[in-house]
Structure 1
Amino acid sequence: SKKERQEILTIMESISATGYTSGRDILTKLSALFNVSTGNWLEVDFSRWGKSTCDNEKFEKLKIAVIQHKKIKIVYENTRSERMERIVQPLKLSYKSKEWYLKAFCLKKQDFRIFKVNRILKLELLEETFVPTPFQEPKKTLQQTCQQIVLLFSKEIAYRVYDEFDETQIEYENNGDLIAYAKMPVDTWLIGYLLSFGTNVEVMEPKYLRTILAEQAQGIYEKNKT
């Protein structure tokens, strides 16, 4: 049917937008065969602002490595600011909460690992291939490490709140301020994220997070005061 043909083309348009080499050719042929156009409705750019060449080359190498089952050598910076070199078997790319991750099997650790793509500082595509095995998710999932967070944001910064929180997670004060509820891991990323709001955010729960944030803010003040 016409609807089914349109759905097939839409799927191929999505695949083509990710940079899959044969996707555009297949889409063109199917469009001509079905005499239907998708209107070029989707565009995907894997790069960060100002780093298009570097990021796109990295994704191209990762795509080849995953599809062709080739091992890669990476230099990676972890959350403890430790720089390490690893040879891994890349299994899949995963997009979660506006960030790209590589799910892989680490040969040194002999275990499955998740690497944040932006923290892969160097990447070398090796010729040695491997037989892929299904990625095994960690037994302790991220959801199990999350805690209930309640944040009060001033209305002036509402546009940023909508970047991170769904409408169902937000309540509104009479003066227009916003209260956001979420389960999140309390880690260095969260502290840095909250500090980026300056005086436009107040931690309501948990109480110990208020103390951590205040200490970090005091440290920033001491380092930068004149």
Structure 2
Amino acid sequence: MKESRLFKIIYFILEKGRVTAPELAEKFEVSVRTIYRDVDVISSAGIPIYVTTGRSGGIQILDNYVLDKAFFSDKEKQDILSALQSLSVINNTYERELLTKLSALFNTHSENWFEVDFGRWGSKTQDNAKFELLKKAVITHKVVNIVYVSTHFKKTTRKIHPLKLYYKSKEWYVKAYCTEKNDFRLFKINRIIDCKLLNEDFIPVEFPDLQATEQNAHNKIVLRFPKEMAYRVYDEFKDDELTEHESGDFIVAAYMPEDAWLIGYLLSFGAYVEVIEPAYLREVLSDEAKKIYEKNKP
């Protein structure tokens, strides 16, 4: 309890610049005598904290004090700056200003060694605005109204409680509780064609473990790819889903949803995919390929 208060006192003084003992006593609900004892403990730990008297006096920390010397290792410092750097690409003024302030406070330059863009090609502004709105909803626990397009091309309006932004297999999702379905749902952000932040709070809860539920919700699909498709097979599937045949072909066994998305996904491989299991999926895929041929034949 005391250690937690000491850290909070340090952060509060760094933020305010100069504070009085009564002000700290009121904020942390302790006596003024206790505050002065805490100041002595902080000083003995090597933090340059001092007390000045007079009308403009108070408790403050040396202006040029570098926070990371007492609290952060070089790696921790770079991790913090890198995380902020990844968020600053969405053109949020707050993140960019905070990145600048912490870089100065840590007396360290953040190496610009990577770049993140949450937008698709040609739609950066709209996608980044959507990402920023959902991020704000997660942090502030605000309900969001969305217009969503499902895998069956159905457009629905839903009210959701955004719990976490989630990146999986080159796609961004939002983990949320859907009030319409009274259940947890995973929404692909690209399919959210409109969203509005509501002035309505929700109590955040834990999103269920996806890995435990995916295999129960999805069926096992077994596919075969020629070695020429190695580049994409390694891009699309996990190592434990792959088996290399003696011929050089790849056998993939993965759990996937059997819906319209799966058919479109398999068709994206063209003639380079063979369905092994389930057998009925071969017929479905073949019929869909025939429809494409009939519609586009010369």
- State the TM-score bracket (shorter-chain normalisation): 0.7 to 0.9
Which has more strand, going by share of residues?
1
- Partner Cα distance (1:218, 1:16) in 2: 48
Would the aligned equivalents of 1:74 and 1:124 in 2 still touch at CA under 8 Å? yes
- Counterpart-to-counterpart distance in 2, 1:87 and 1:181: 36
Q: Deviations over 1:95-114 (max 9, x none)?
A: 22222222233344444333
The structure 2 residue matched to 1:12, chosen from 74, 81, 87, is 81
Match among 63, 74, 90 for residue 135 of structure 2? 63
Question: Is contact 2:141–2:203 with CA below 8 Å preserved after alignment?
Answer: yes
| Counterpart AA for 1:47 | G
Quote the residue 1:100 is aligned against. 172
1:103 and 1:113 in contact (8 A); partners too: yes
Pick closer, same or farther for the CA change 1:176–1:110 going to 2, 3 Å: closer
State the distance in 2 between where 1:32 and 1:6 align: 16
TM-score normalised per structure 2 = 0.65
Q: Hey, what does 2:201 align to over in structure 1?
A: 130
Cα displacement (A) at 1:189: 1.8
Task: Give the gaps of 5 or more residues in structure 2.
Answer: 1-67
Count of paired positions: 225
Give a deviation string over 1:18-77, Cα, whole Å, max 9, x none: 236544444433433444334122322111122111111111111222222333222111
Q: Percent identity?
A: 51
Letter paired with 2:81? M
SS of alignment partner, residue 119 of structure 2: coil
Output the TM-score relative to the length of structure 1: 0.83
For 2:137 and 2:81, the matched residues in 1 are separated by 21
Amino acid at match of 1:12: L
The 3 A distance-change label for structure 1 pair 203 and 183 is same
The 3-state SS of whatever aligns with 2:73 is helix
TM-aligned CA distance change 1:120 to 1:22, over 3 Å: same
Contact kept in structure 1, 2:165 and 2:175, CA below 8 Å: yes
- In 1, the alpha carbon distance for the partners of 2:175 and 2:127 equals 18
Mean CA deviation greater in 173-182 or 202-211: 173-182
In structure 1, C-alpha distance between the alignment counterparts of 2:244 and 2:95, rounded to whole Å: 45
SS at structure 2 position matched to 1:221: helix
Q: State the alpha-carbon separation in 1 of the partners of residues 181 and 109 from structure 2.
A: 48
Judged with a 3 Å threshold, the aligned counterparts in structure 2 of structure 1 residues 171 and 12 are, in CA distance, closer, same or farther, namely: same
Within 2, Cα distance between the matches of 1:109 and 1:170? 35
The residue type paired with residue 175 of structure 2 is K
Give the secondary structure class of the aligned counterpart of 1:137: coil
Task: Indicate whether 1:181 and 2:250 are aligned.
Answer: no
- Kindly report which structure 2 residues correspond to 1:55-204, keeping only aligned pairs within 5 A, or say none: 55-126=127-198, 128-137=199-208, 141-204=213-276
